[in-house]
Structure formats: C-alpha cells, structure tokens
Amino acid sequence: MLTGRRILLIIGGGIAAFKSLDLIRRLRERGAAVTPVLTPAGAEFVTPLSASALAGTKVYRDLFDLTDEAEMGHIELSRSADLVVVAPATADLMAKMAAGLANDLASTLLLATDKAVLAAPAMNVRMWEHAATQRNVATLRGDGILFVGPDEGDMACGEYGPGRMAEPLAIVAAIEAALAAGPLAGRRVIVTSGPTHEPIDPVRYIANRSSGAQGSAIAGALAALGAEVVFVTGPASAPMPAGVQIVAVETAREMQAAVASALPADAAVFAAAVADWRMAAASDHKIKKDGTGSLPVLEFAENPDILAGVSQMAEGRPVLVVGFAAETDDVIANATAKRKRKGCDWILANDVSPVTGIMGGSENAVTLISESGAETWPRMSKAEVATRLAARIAEALA
Ligand code: C5P
C-alpha cells in the first residue's frame, strides 16, 4: 500500500503518456497522492484536464507560471514529494537529466529535487538502443536514478524491440520498492536465474532442469528490502518475482550481454544454471535423418563464464559478487575451490544429487562460503534461503 505517500509524476511527451493516466488511477487506488507535471510535449498526448481529474489536484506545467510560484515554488514542489516518477521518460528528458539542464519545469524539478527519482523510459527501439541514449542511461544510473523498464514488444511506430514503457502495475511495484524504506533502498542488484537454452538447430536446444525458483525468490527478497533489482532470466518455469526489472534471455551469451548492460551495480547474484557448452555452430536448418543411419556429430564450444567475468572485472566490479555451486560430491571442498577460481566474494553451495530433491524442488540446503570460511544453513524453503541471503547482502552493503 502507498497510503499517504506523495508522488510527483512528470509526464513526458510520448504515446505511452496515456498509460500514465492509468498509473495515476492505480496509485490513487493504493492511497498515494499524485501531483502531475506535464511537459509541453506531454500535454500534446494527454490533456491537463484528464491528468488533473484523475489526480484530483492541480496539474503543473510551466516554470514561469507566477501563480504556481506564489502558491508553491519549483524548489518546494520538487521536494514536497516522497518520490519523483518520470513516466514516460523520453529520450529527450533523459538527455536533459543526464546533462543537468534546467530549462523548463520538468527538468528544473528533476535537478532541484532531493528525493529519489524513478524513470520509466519509453521510446522507439532505435532511439533506446542509440549510443547517446545508452550513455545517458549509464550516467543516470551512476547518479542513482532508478529505472523500471523499458519492456520489449510491438511499438506504436510499428517496430519491435525494447522501448515500450513498463505497464502501470509494474511501475507501481517499482514505486513501492523504491519507497520501501528497506536497508537496500537506493542499491542496485543484478540477479541471474533459470536455465539457458542453447540452440542445436531452429527446433532443438540443449537445456537443464533448473526451474529458476531460487533465483526468483532471491530477486523478490532483494526487492522487498528496497533494492532496485535487474532480474536476468533464462527460460524458467518458476513464477517471475514482483517489483523487479525483468530481462528475458535464452542463451548464455545473451545472458552475458544482458548482465553487461545492467552494470554498474552494487551487488550481483549469479543463480542461473548457465549451460557450460553451446554448439560451436548451431545449424540454420533443422538437422534431418538422411535414411542411411548415420548419426549427426555435435561439436561444442565453451560458453563464457558470466560469474567469473564479472568477479574479475578490473573496473566497475560490484562490491559484492555471489555465485552458486551446484555440486553432487565433496560439496564444500569443491565450492571453496570454485570461489577462489572464479574470484567471487561468496558462493552458496548446494548438493544437487538426485536424492536431495533440491533441483526443481521447493527446499534448499546451502552452505555460504566466504573468505572467512563455510557456514552451513539448515535445510529450509527456497523462499527462506532467499530472505536470509538478502538480509546478509544488506548487511554486507551497509
Ligand atoms: O562453474 P559452475 O557452473 O559450477 O559455477 C556455478 C556458478 O557460476 C553459478 O553462480 C552460475 O550462475 C555461474 N556461471 C555463470 N556462467 C557460466 C557458468 C556458471 O555465471 N557460464
């Protein structure tokens, strides 16, 4: 619930602005007070009257509106909220934010505020992927701006890809997480989860039995403590966590790229069961039986080790890097050696021999291995493991 929480909602100029009207409604249903600010371009997409009617309050539009200054100056307006939300955050607005411009009401409020800012980007896929926008996003992340979305999908302009504004309920969840005064508020954490699928040909792939349950639970537990979580997930069967930014991938190499573009982060938890190998060259065509009884020979190539790569980053390494070690024998000895080899800070080791029923099950029995030794936790649900790990991460980052 958001009872009594005050949201300053800056509505930029994009077709997604219509969703911001629904966002106002959803926030008010949860007890929040919403003060809308419409940029001149935003006012081309939604009318001040609809924003004002839904918010049940005045809509602010112009920096030089003296009445507003008499009532409430822009500095005061920018600080009277608990959270500033920019939705849609257009490429132009983000560029202004990254450059520190203050040449209209929205940019001035964003520069003057002393509160957390959450941006929900929305733009054409090419604009989102443009080096300038990605540079601005990286700058803003470095400045502590929180992000929700963008989602991938069909766009109003007819193209397909990342750039759609997150749905109102996802923005609400991100707002709730940002306002949760948890110990991880203002911290950014990347969590990888699920299996990866490595194509053999267009219809076949190599996979593993990971359900993604532990990774989902960890991402949810971190978000519940107020962290901004980027959840990079392979094709998992477990339900997706709430209040996190979801980046869906298929292969190890896609997962590696998604992690790279989610950095920088304060911590990273690598819970994915990444395939160690992929096809050296996946076939473009379905491999067929030729009737002679000859068998196809599959040639493998090694996948990148995402955990080791991030652990050994020379610059910009997360303060805390956590890996998992699913072992069937000599769990602690193997996992201790693995921690050293990979260069991560902690390893959560678990015994996945079939007798334990852990792989795909709802419980886990883990040992936390760090520089100071091995600490075995009692067998507990994956949700409890997640809560305990999230609390330990919060302690380590405090
Ligand atoms: O080497 P192994 O697969 O046992 O290591 C497990 C840990 O390394 C897990 O945290 C897993 O998410 C991570 N990993 C990775 N990229 C790989 C292989 C494993 O991030 N290619």
pLDDT score recorded for residue 261: 94
Q: Counting atoms of ligand 1 from 1, which one is nearest the CA of 310?
A: 20
Mean pLDDT value of segment 327-344: 94
What CA–CA distance (Å, rounded) separates 39 from 26?
A: 21
Place of tokens 């959840």: 231
**pLDDT reading at 304 higher than 70:** yes
Q: Buried b / exposed e across 11-46, counting CB within 10 Å, b at 16+?
A: bbbbbbbebbbebbebbbeeebbbbbbbbebbbebb
CA-based nearest residue to 269, from 329, 219, 339, 330? 219
Choosing from 324, 336, 366 the residue with most ligand 1 atoms within 8 A of its CB, the one to mutate for a pocket test is 324
**pLDDT reading at 385 higher than 60:** yes
Neighbours of 279 (CB within 10 A): 17
Q: Quick one: angle between helices 91-99 and 105-112, nearest 10?
A: 40
Is residue 360 very low, low, confident or very high in pLDDT (cuts 50, 70, 90)?
Answer: low
Q: Give ∠ CA 220-234-248 in degrees, rounded to 5.
A: 75
| 17 Cβ closer than 6 Å to some ligand 1 atom | no
What CA–CA distance (Å, rounded) separates 71 from 232?
A: 45
What CA–CA distance (Å, rounded) separates 270 from 234?
A: 12
- CB distance 180 to 225 below 8 Å: yes
Cis? peptide before 150, omega within 30° of 0: yes
Radius of gyration of the chain (CA): 23
The DSSP secondary-structure symbol of 381 reads E
What CA–CA distance (Å, rounded) separates 335 from 129?
A: 39
pLDDT, one tens digit per residue, over 281-296 is 999 999 998 889 899 9
pLDDT score recorded for residue 7: 97
Reading the block at residue 183, the tokens are: 């110990």
- CB distance 228 to 147 below 8 Å: yes
pLDDT, one tens digit per residue, over 66-102 is 465 555 677 888 888 999 999 999 999 999 999 999 9
What spacing in Å lies between the alpha carbon of 189 and ligand 1's midpoint? 17
- CB distance 110 to 84 below 8 Å: yes
Our answer to whether residue 344 is catalytic in this structure is no
pLDDT, one tens digit per residue, over 163-190 is 999 999 999 999 998 887 789 988 999 9
Q: Where are the domains of the chain?
A: 6-179, 188-397
The answer for 47, left when phi > 0, alpha when psi is -120 to 50, beta otherwise, is beta
Is residue 352 very low, low, confident or very high in pLDDT (cuts 50, 70, 90)?
Answer: confident
pLDDT score recorded for residue 243: 76
Mean pLDDT value of segment 356-364: 75
Q: What is the 3-state secondary structure (H, E, C) of 321-377?
A: EEEEEEECCCHHHHHHHHHHHHCCCEEEEEECCHHHCCCCCCEECEEEEECCEEEEC
**pLDDT reading at 337 higher than 80:** yes
Is residue 134 very low, low, confident or very high in pLDDT (cuts 50, 70, 90)?
Answer: very high
| 194 Cβ closer than 6 Å to some ligand 1 atom | no
pLDDT score recorded for residue 65: 62
pLDDT, one tens digit per residue, over 192-238 is 999 999 999 999 999 998 899 999 999 999 988 889 899 999 999 99
**Which amino acid is present at 207?**
A
What CA–CA distance (Å, rounded) separates 55 from 394?
A: 36
Helices (H) and strands (E) in the chain, counts: 15, 21
- Tell me which fold the domain 188-397 belongs to: Rossmann fold (3.40.50)
Q: Which residues contact 182 (CB under 8 A, 6 or more apart)?
A: 224, 225, 226, 227, 394
Instruction: Provide the percentage of residues in the chain whose pLDDT is more than 70.
Output: 97
Choosing from 307, 338, 369, 389 the residue with most ligand 1 atoms within 8 A of its CB, the one to mutate for a pocket test is 307
User: HSE on the CB side for 145, CA within 13 Å?
Assistant: 27
CA-based nearest residue to 150, from 12, 356, 314? 12
pLDDT score recorded for residue 31: 95
Average pLDDT across the chain, whole number:
92
Q: Give ∠ CA 326-263-13 in degrees, rounded to 5.
A: 130
Higher pLDDT, 154 or 334: 334
Instruction: Provide the percentage of residues in the chain whose pLDDT is more than 90.
Output: 73
pLDDT score recorded for residue 185: 86
What spacing in Å lies between the alpha carbon of 380 and ligand 1's midpoint? 23
Q: Buried b / exposed e across 187-224, counting CB within 10 Å, b at 16+?
A: bbbbbbbbbbbbbbeeebbbebebbbbbbbbbbbbbbb
What spacing in Å lies between the alpha carbon of 247 and ligand 1's midpoint? 18
Q: In 3-state terms, what secondary structure has residue 299?
A: coil
Neighbours of 346 (CB within 10 A): 22
What spacing in Å lies between the alpha carbon of 203 and ligand 1's midpoint? 26
CATH number of 6-179: 3.40.50.1950
Neighbours of 380 (CB within 10 A): 15
**Which amino acid is present at 249?**
V
